Amino acid sequence: MELEAKLHEIRKPIMVLGTSSGAGKSLTVTAICRILKNLGEFPIPFKGQNMSNNAWVDWEGGEMAYSQALQAFACGINPSAEMNPILLKPQGNSISEVIHLGKSIGTTTAQNYYKDWFMPGWEVIKKSLKSIYERYPNCRLIIEGAGSPVEMNLIHRDLTNLRVAKYLNANCILVTDIERGGVFAQIIGTLELMKPEEKKLIKGIIINRFRGDLSLFEEGKKWIENKTQIPVIGIIPWLNDSFPPEDSLDLLEKKARFNNAEIKVGIIKLPSISNFSDFDPLENEESILIDWIRESQNLSKYDFIILPGSKQTIKDQIFLENSGLSQDVRDYSNEKGNIIGICGGLQMLGTTLEDPYFKEGSKNHSDQKIKGIGLLPLKTTFSEKKLTRQINSESLWPCQSKINGFEIHNGQTVIDKIHNAVDIKPIFKDLDLGWYRENDYGGSIAGTYIHGIFENDNWRDQYLNLIRKGKNLPIVDKKTKSYKIKRESIIDNLANEFDKHLNISSLLN
């Protein structure tokens, strides 16, 4: 039976729309997912189409946006690519990789996307919804919109907002960010641009990021309700908990949260950075201060340097070379520096990068084979097919420990025997997941394909202890609170704050 015929039988979905990008849709969905889980419901997050290079890999090897994975954690369930059936991963120059149900199926320009991919996209969204309801008939979908639902030049081909809301006849919440100013115009303007049948779906309004005494907005609340005939179901105060940003540009706005930092970390801000949520566990360490490095400089002030993942490794390595940062990293290694590369960062630390299929940012034949930074004797050849999988392994360095994470990359990396490869050693029992070498001058140079490596608490603690030992700081033998437990605590705190200020019960019937 088609899903359309069964919609009257399912629990009413809740959809969170926003008056703009950055209004707080993602965290609102995360909070509602945990609130409903605590009420004994079975919530499942859903976002028809997302654009992000901050990805997660599910247990079947499917790619999805990290924000939907986080929402799945809030529901207490394993993330699945069906929760984010379309993922667009920007590659620069208005070109994006298109991922349907976790699998890469091509690339597109922004100009041609809706012409070539609109109907296939809508079909894969409907397929995902049908599959979710067939497997979990008692679930309640908590759906996240994207940007604004009333971008009039795009609304006829918008896959993510009102088309999904109308298809599922969802109870919709409109979220607006009062911190930006103009909250009344945002709400009224958004509703005025909706068709009557669309406006009827809006069952509640949330005022997000309110600073100060909530009672001061009582008159504003009454005005909105009288003008729109829609209840304001929540006024959410400004929250300080740190969450992975949806857009990597948000990283530039992060402020240091700890004043007693003993270790200073520099992360290279690559133009095509991906999977920046890899560093959330480090941001939760009170002993660490993180800086983002965007231009050539003396790196000696940092206790270790990280080269993060990249969506366009060749392009980013050319940037490092042209900007002088490659030489800065080499100089740093000669000063007893500690360096670790993750995924694309691992590849760039090697001697050679070869891109025969123009998959990793090569613009011409001269870019198809370039030199890496050259600190690890490794050569990488990029292939046509991407590898995506969950990882369960065991580390050999800096300690023996169980390791979980995931891979998501093009290319195969092997030891380059032309160069001195005697001192390079595997980090893991699975020999192709990472390598390290002790720096001739002290310190270490390491690289791994495992995203989420710092979420492994024992491994992270032991790596940080290597850094502390090099600084003559006392070794920390802490019974660390697991990062994943910390993440759960943050989600609980978020849900508790929303629950204090949000009347969700009217949307559940």
Catalytic positions: 343, 451
Greatest CA span in the chain, whole angstroms? 76
3-state SS class at 284: coil
Residue type, 98: V
* CA-wise closest residue to 129 among 183, 102, 168: 168
**Can you name the residues that pair with 445 across neighbouring β-strands?**
339, 437
Structure tokens at 316: 């980013």
- Reported as type and span, the H/E element at residue 465 is helix 457-470
Residues 6+ apart with CB under 8 A from 494: 27, 30, 31, 34, 239, 241, 243
Residues comprising the chain, all counted? 509
Are the CB atoms for 88 and 127 separated by under 8 Å?
no
Apex 407 CA angle, 104 and 325, nearest 5: 100
Residues 6+ apart with CB under 8 A from 55: 63, 64, 65, 66, 87, 89, 274, 275, 408
Structure tokens at 359: 């998959």
CA distance 18 to 161: 9
The residue with tokens 């969950």 is 390
CA distance 143 to 161: 9
CA distance 327 to 299: 10
* CA-wise closest residue to 95 among 291, 359, 385: 359
**DSSP characters over 86-129:** EEEEEEETTEEEEEETTEEEEEEEHHHHHHHHHHHHHHHHHHHH
Sort strands 352-354 and 378-381 into parallel, antiparallel or unpaired.
parallel
The residue with tokens 């032991």 is 462
